[in-house]
Structure 1
Amino acid sequence: MTATAVLACISITCLAAVPQAAVTAGPDTPGYGDRADVDNLAQFGFTEREYAISGLARKFKGVGTLGSDGKWAASVVSSNTPYNTMMIVRRPTDPARFNGVVIVEWLNVSTGYPLDVDWGMAHEAILREGYAYVGVNVQKVGVQGVQKLTAYGSRYAAGSIPDDDISYDILSQTAQALRDQSHLILGGLKPQKLIATGHSQSAMRLITYANAIQPLDKVFDGLFIHGRTSSGAKLASSDSMPLNTAIRSDTNVPVFLLQSEMDVALQPGTSRQVDTDLIRHWEVAGSAHADQYLLDSIGKVSTREVGWTPPECGSPYNAMPFYEVEIAAFDHLKNWMTTGIAPPTAPRLQRDWLGGIKKDANGNAIGGLRLPEIDVPIARYGHVNFTTGSLAFLDLFACVAGGNTNYFTASKLQSLYPTHEDYVNKYKAAADAALAKGYIRPVEHANSLKRAQAAAVPQ
């Protein structure tokens, strides 16, 4: 080997080359998480197929101090851990409808089963705007969860992820496979840009991915981190993690951080994130970690897969249409990657002297990114809820994460909005402002006006 070649192979890129994965199409029958009928995929010109992805994965560990600035270094400590897992691919059937962007979701396994949270939040836009979507099961408990489902027999028996230390590399290998094997996985669609996305626990692991792995592998063109915690997950069990972690300011790709009011209220350290030319952080006033819209979407699949039925909670789930902001954020990230035009900034939620979120006279948050529902309210939107019956984990999770909506009384609505026309006019002005600021898309703006027209306000 020449001296030049030796020097080249000392580079980070050479040392961290992403291994090739083997991908095979799964059975041509509905499997776990199938949404073909749930979301009427065929009606939107989409097809869904499950694939198995397998190979030998790398494990990493942190190098030196993993500081709160997120500028982490990582080294490969092994490269031979076998894995076999599944991914779900939803894509436009007609190549002409494909917008060139693939959203790759780190499926959330907090409930013991892989859940496609960001599909649940953004699927309306994915379907109408021609994204391709891949949900990949990269954690051990997710594999174990699908293996428990007797309805699928031995379909998932070969699945194996021995530990979550290899989860980061499985994600990288998935992205690399999408580029190298698009003829198989995407039916010939040619991906131009890849986005990695994840919510909650998955977001925590994507923080680590953004700070330590993306700088090495460089396989994604953008990262979407939704509902993050203050710090990231460990690369290896021996790593020591800071209590609060920023996304590194020298990120090599755009990073969009989307937080609900609940997220930043319970994890105040996340609000310290600084916006840069390649980092954007939004905090949505009045929103919950997992709201009515998301839980309805997840519930359609969870009821079928594990027999889960929505629990009785002390209050209705949070009804703030947070999903509208997520749809706008994905569109901004797409444009950011393809044109270099950064998304608009958004105000942070205001805090009192104790660090809590300030509230107005109606009990709603002050500051933050504001939807018309928060500026022209018919309810108090919060994040304190609990089950009134079952204490099963899934029920607790739904109620606590789902937040609450406490609707105003008829007399209060009458005092705020003497006539329905008055309410609609005020709502429209707030919706127009949110659209002009780029916080919602035109379709969601039109839909929100329809909701306001149909609302029985005042009663």
Structure 2
Amino acid sequence: MLLPFLRSLAPLPGWRTVVALVLLCGGLHGARAQVAQAAIQPAPAGHFLDRGAQLTASGYTDQEFWISGLAKTYRAASTLRSDGKWSATVASTSTPYQTVMLVRRPADPARFNGMVIVEWLNVSSGYILDVDWAMGKEEFLRAGYAYVGLTNQRVGMNGLKEKNPSRYAAGNLPNDDISYDILSQAAKAVRDQSGVLLNGMVPKKVFATGHSQSAIRLVTYVNAIHPRDRVIDGFMIHGRGNSGAKLSSGDYRGVPSSTVIRNDLQEPVFQLQSEMDVDAQPDTSKAVDTAKIRYWEVAGSSHSDQYMLDGIYAVSTREPASCEKPANSMPFYRVQNAAYSHLVRWATIGTPPPLGARIQRSSLLRRIQRDAHGNALGGVRLPEIDVPVATYGIDNSTTGSTEFLDLFACITSGSTEPFDAAKRARLYPTPEEYLRQYVAAADRALAAGFLLPADHARAVEAARQAAGR
């Protein structure tokens, strides 16, 4: 629509100046002007997910900010189709809100890599959880990312008020219908108010990430809101369901049971699924890789896992859940680290991530196919599944508390069932043989782009220690 209009100006005096001004003011984020400017105010120290004590040694700060303004709500302009090409229309423009966002950044501006990750904080537990921070923190810290955790759903704010009524008394999220516009306003604030939020560090790219329920809502944001606002440079959708969420609670137009990411986006979208995700939500495998869409399924992994739980429990006042089996120990987070790195390269220099094989399924019932050890075949593969010392399952249950949080933690964390000594001896007659096979598998994952060099080195060193070498 823009280019024909600009060409029509060609006969007019000074038309080149007009074109230049439009391109300078528009650029990649030509729609940003339609996103309202939020107000930002620093909050006192000691917020709900404060990891400052953990981050100081890494040269990072952890600070909370209030963000407030007037938010839009949307409704579907037409039937929402399974191809993801959704159209949203503004239903209202003046819902007042006040919520919080936490910012973790390098204390030294020289360490900042220019990349900001905005996480749609997960609220499935009734409280905000920084799941993608817990999974991606090693890459964020060593590469110099800035991170923003956004509370933009009502249940998250209610949980904050429950935990600290006085601190969060001013919080106001009347509904989730405004959550999409709050994400846009937060992303815009990261750019336009970086002097406050990032202590003057200027972001080059702003990405959005979200896990599970947050990923489902990000599907809707990407398909319906992002084409309007375009304030985000790329997306990481982690552990999504078959479809998205409704645009508003009162919208009579529902979402289709199965939805892909629309294929006409100009910014990249990375979809990262565990084995448990695709077992429970098999239609996500319908994703088609394109120049702007990438989809990986990680064999042997679960919706949450021991690494994620360790990260969440580090700031939790709850005792760890008591589960029937040990949680899944497949290091999914290392693939997620690689995915973030690929997303940055994709958005900055245009290099797309490698393609990932799909987990193998039977042709008749579409069941996941497994090897003699009970581990999945196909998919993105880490050395732990190619050179296994355990069966990495996607089933578990609680043996203690049946409260929702404990039950949910056990069911979604999958399982690890170590091989007995006799089986390990049959598979790997000597420690040297195990290490040889492991290093070869790690080298394959590195060459394929599923492991970063730093994670490859750590994985190989851990294998050496396990082998006593």
The interval holding the TM-score normalised by the smaller chain is over 0.9
Q: Is the 8 A contact 1:417 1:457 kept in 2?
A: no
1:262 maps to amino acid: M
- Check the 8 A contact 2:104/2:146 in 1, yes or no: yes
The aligned counterpart of 1:397 is 408
TM-aligned CA distance change 1:280 to 1:14, over 3 Å: closer
Report if aligned partners of 1:87, 1:135 keep a CA contact under 8 Å in 2: yes
Work out the CA distance in 2 between the residues paired with 1:15 and 1:202: 23
- The corresponding residue for 2:143 is 129
Q: 1:108 aligns with which of 99, 122, 130?
A: 122
TM-score (norm: length of structure 1)? 0.94
Q: Structure 2 matches for 1:336-351, cutoff 5 A? A: 336-351=346-361
Equivalent in the alignment of 2:222: 210
How much does 1:213 deviate?
0.5
Q: Distance in 2 between matches of 1:228 and 1:457?
A: 39
1:370 aligned residue = 381
Distance 1:157 1:450 in 2: 48
Q: Which residue of 2 aligns with 1:222?
A: 234
One-letter identity of the residue aligned with 1:344? P
Identify which of 69, 72, 77 aligns with 1:55.
69
Q: CA deviation at 1:142?
A: 0.2
- Provide the C-alpha distance between the structure 2 equivalents of 1:209 and 1:382, rounded to a whole number of angstroms: 32
Structure 1 residues 171-250: aligned runs within 5 Å? 171-237=183-249, 238=251, 239-250=253-264
Q: For the residues of structure 1 that align with 2:406 and 2:467, how far apart are their CA atoms?
A: 31
Deviations 1:373-406 (A, max 9, x none): 0000000001110001210111011100100001
Amino acid in the other structure paired with 2:383: P
CA contact (8 A) 2:31 2:228 kept: no
Distance 2:97 2:468 in 1: 55
For residues 15 and 326 of structure 1, do their structure 2 counterparts lie closer, same or farther at Cα, with a shift above 3 Å needed? closer
Query: What's the TM-score once normalised by structure 2's chain length?
Result: 0.92
Q: Distance in 2 between matches of 1:50 and 1:187?
A: 13
Counterpart-to-counterpart distance in 1, 2:121 and 2:319? 21
SS state of the match for residue 178, structure 2? helix
Specify the code of the residue in structure 2 equivalent to 1:430. Answer: A
2:368 aligned counterpart, secondary structure: coil
DSSP 3-state at the match of 2:46:
coil
Tell me which of 340, 345, 349 is aligned to 1:335: 345
Of residues 24, 27, 50, the one that matches 1:34 is 50
Gaps of 5+ in 2: 6-21
Do residues 158 (structure 1) and 158 (structure 2) align?
no
Q: Given that residues 208 and 236 in structure 2 are in contact (C-alpha distance below 8 angstroms), is that contact kept between their aligned partners in structure 1?
A: yes
Say whether the 8 Å CA contact 1:419–1:457 is kept in structure 2.
Answer: no
1:217 and 1:349 mapped to 2: Cα distance?
35
Are residue 291 (structure 1) and residue 305 (structure 2) matched?
yes
Summarize deviations over 1:217-237 as a string: whole Å, max 9, x none: 000000110000000000023
**Match of 1:302, SS?**
coil
Q: Distance in 2 between matches of 1:251 and 1:310?
A: 41
* Correspondent of 1:79 among 70, 93, 108: 93
The question of whether the paired residues in 1 share the 8 Å contact of 2:31 and 2:230 is answered with no
**Paired position in structure 2 for 1:168:** 180
* Aligned mates of 2:274, 2:463 — CA distance in 1: 23
Equivalence for 1:95: 109
Matching residue within 54, 57, 60 for 1:43: 57
Q: Distance in 2 between matches of 1:114 and 1:280?
A: 28
The number of aligned residues is 442
**2:38 partner amino acid:** A
> What is the root-mean-square deviation in Å for CA atoms of aligned residues?
1.8
Contact 2:328 2:416 (C-alpha < 8 Å) held by counterparts: yes
CA 299–223 in structure 1, closer or farther in 2 if over 3 Å, else same: same
Is contact 2:122-2:128 (8 Å) kept? yes
Q: Which residue of structure 2 lines up, in the alignment, with residue 410 of structure 1?
A: 421
Distance of 2:222 and 2:307 partners within structure 1: 28
SS at the partner of 1:225? Answer: strand
Query: Share of identical aligned residues, percent?
Result: 56
The alpha carbon displacement at 1:36 in A equals 1.1
Q: Secondary structure at the match of 2:91?
A: strand
Aligned equivalents of 1:309, 1:360: Cα separation in 2: 35
Q: Which runs of 5+ in 1 are unaligned?
A: none
1:427-454 alpha-carbon deviations (Å, 9 max, x no partner): 0000000000110101110111111112
Q: 1:301 corresponds to which residue?
A: 315
Separation of aligned partners in 1, 2:400 and 2:236: 36
Aligned AA (2:114): G
Which residue does 2:330 correspond to in 1? Answer: 320
* Whole-Å separation in 1 of the counterparts to 2:467 and 2:264: 50
Secondary structure of residue in 1 paired with 2:314: helix
Query: 2 CA distance for matches of 1:424 and 1:451?
Result: 10
Contact kept in structure 2, 1:57 and 1:170, CA below 8 Å: yes
Q: Does 1:258 align with 2:272?
A: yes
Q: Is the 8 A contact 1:423 1:457 kept in 2?
A: no
Match of 2:133 in 1: 119
Give a deviation string over 1:105-157, Cα, whole Å, max 9, x none: 000000000000000000011111100000000000000001001xx451100
Distance 1:319 1:268 in 2: 23
CA distance in 1, matches of 2:332, 2:79: 36
Match for residue 462 of structure 2? 451
AA aligned to 2:313 is G
SS in 2 for 1:164: coil
Secondary structure class of the residue paired with 1:208: helix
1:277 paired with 2:288, answer: no
Question: What is the aligned counterpart of 1:142 among 156, 159, 163?
Answer: 156
Partners of 1:252 and 1:110 in 2: how far apart?
Answer: 31
- The answer to whether the 8 A contact 2:285-2:358 is kept is yes
CA distance in 1, matches of 2:224, 2:301: 30
Q: Give the residue type in structure 1 aligned to 2:384.
A: E
Distance 1:167 1:410 in 2: 52
In structure 2, the CA distance between the partners of 1:14 and 1:326, relative to structure 1 (3 Å rule), is closer
Q: Which runs of 4+ in 1 moved over 6 A?
A: 11-16
* Distance (whole Å) between structure 2 residues aligned to residue 172 and residue 15 of structure 1: 9
Out of 417, 435, 459, the position equivalent to 1:424 is 435
Secondary structure, aligned partner of 2:291:
coil
Residue identity opposite 1:122 in structure 2:
G
How many angstroms apart in 2 are the aligned matches of 1:16 and 1:450? 50
Deviation at 1:456, TM superposition (A): 5.4
Amino acid at match of 2:112: F
